[in-house]
Amino acid sequence: MYSLYFPGQLPVQDNKLLKKDLFGEVWRVADDDGLAVLRDTRPARWWLAWLARNLLRRESRALAALTGIEGIPQLRSSDRHTLLRSYMPGVPLFEGRPQEALYFKAAARLLRQVHRAGVVHNDLAKEPNILLRDDGSPAFIDFQLAWYSRRRNRLFRSAAREDIRHLLKHKRTYRADLLTMRERAILKSPSPLSRAWMSLFKPVYLFLTRRILGWSDREGAADRGRSD
Ligand SMILES: Nc1ncnc2c1ncn2[C@@H]1O[C@H](COP(=O)(O)OP(=O)(O)O)[C@@H](O)[C@H]1O
Ligand SMILES: [Mg+2]
C-alpha cells in the first residue's frame, strides 16, 4: 500500500521533509484523515537498510500496543518499508520549554499509561522525542527503540524506571523547583542497567553515532542523555 503514500505522488505543497538521515526519511504528509507522519526506510543506506527495517518493525509493534492513548501517535498503517502515524501539532521540548506543573503531571501520567500497556520507550532522553502540543499537553513520539513485552520481567521494569528518570531530568531542566523528594531520589539512583550502559556501551555507542554516522549535532538539541 505504500505507493499510496509515497511522498513524490502527493501534491508537493502538502508534504514536508521533517528529517533525513542514514536510516531514511521522515515526511509530514496529508491523507484523508488529516496530517500524518510517514517514516520511509527506502532511502536508507543499503548497509543500514536491515537495521532501519528492524527499527520500523519495533515502532510498529509499540504503536499498535498503544492504540487509543491520547498523546501517542496513532498508527495508521505500516509495511516492510514504511510506517504512517498521525501527526500531532506542537513543538519539541527544547523549543516549547514547558513551565506548567500540569504539563509535567500529564507527562508522568502518559508515561505510566505507556508502561501499563507493556511498552518502554527507551529514547526519552532526547528532547525532540517529547512534544509540547498546541493545546499545552505532552506527547511522546519516535518509538524506534521501544520494547513491547507482555511479561514485565526485571529488564522491563528496569528500563521503565530509566524512562521515568529521563523524564524527570527534563523536569529538572525546566522546573527543578517542582521536583518532589522522591523524584530527587530517583534522579540520584541510576539503575544497574544504566550504569552498565554508561561504562560499557556508551563509549562504543558514541563512537558509532558520532564518528561513523555523524550524529553529533543530531536534531540540534541537547541530549541530556545518560550522562549522569
Ligand atoms: N507524530 C508526530 N507529530 C508531530 N511531529 C512529529 C511526529 N513524528 C515525528 N515528528 C517530527 O519529526 C521528527 C523526526 O521523527 P522521529 O520519529 O523522531 O524520527 P527519528 O527516529 O529519525 O528521530 C521529530 O523529531 C518531530 O519533529
Ligand atoms: Mg527522534
| Chain segment 72-86, per-residue pLDDT in tens | 999 999 999 999 999
189 or 43, higher pLDDT = 43
Nearest atom in ligand 1 to the alpha carbon of residue 90 is 4
Q: What is the DSSP string of the chain?
A: -GGGG-GGGS-GGG-EEEEEETTEEEEEEEETTEEEEEEE-TTS-GGGHHHHHHHHHHHHHHHHHTTT-TTSPPEEEE-SSEEEEE---EEEHHHH----HHHHHHHHHHHHHHHHTTEE-S-TTBGGGEEEETTS-EEE---TT-EE-SS--HHHHHHHHHHHHHHHHHHHHHHGGG--HHHHHHHH---HHHHHIIIIIHHHHHIIIIIIS--TTGGGS-B--S--
Please tell me if the CB atom of residue 128 comes closer than 6 angstroms to any atom of ligand 1.
Answer: yes
CATH of the domain at 66: 3.30.200.20
User: Do 40 and 153 belong together in one domain?
Assistant: no
Pocket test residue of 88, 142, 213 for ligand 1, highest count of atoms within 8 A of CB: 142
User: What backbone torsions phi and psi does residue 86 show, to the nearest 5 degrees?
Assistant: -65, 150
Please report whether residue 162 resides in a domain.
yes
Please tell me if the CB atom of residue 18 comes closer than 6 angstroms to any atom of ligand 1.
Answer: yes
> What is the per-residue pLDDT across 149-166, written as a single tens digit (0 to 9) for each?
988 888 899 999 999 999
User: Do 97 and 193 belong together in one domain?
Assistant: yes
Nearest residue to 39 (alpha-carbon basis) of 73, 89, 90 = 73
Our count of domains for the chain comes to 2
The pTM of the full predicted model, rounded to 2 decimals, is 0.86
Please report whether residue 227 resides in a domain.
no
Predicted confidence band at 20 (pLDDT cuts at 50, 70, 90)? very high
Nearest atom in ligand 1 to the alpha carbon of residue 88 is 3
Residue where a domain stops, chosen among 65, 86, 107:
86
What's the 180 CA to ligand 1 centre distance in angstroms? 31
The answer to whether residue 3 scores a pLDDT higher than 50 is no
Residue where a domain stops, chosen among 35, 54, 86:
86
Which numbered ligand comes closest to the C-alpha of 19?
1
User: Do 77 and 105 belong together in one domain?
Assistant: no
What's the 122 CA to ligand 2 centre distance in angstroms? 11
Please tell me if the CB atom of residue 144 comes closer than 6 angstroms to any atom of ligand 1.
Answer: yes
* Residue list, CB under 5 A from ion ligand 2: 129, 142
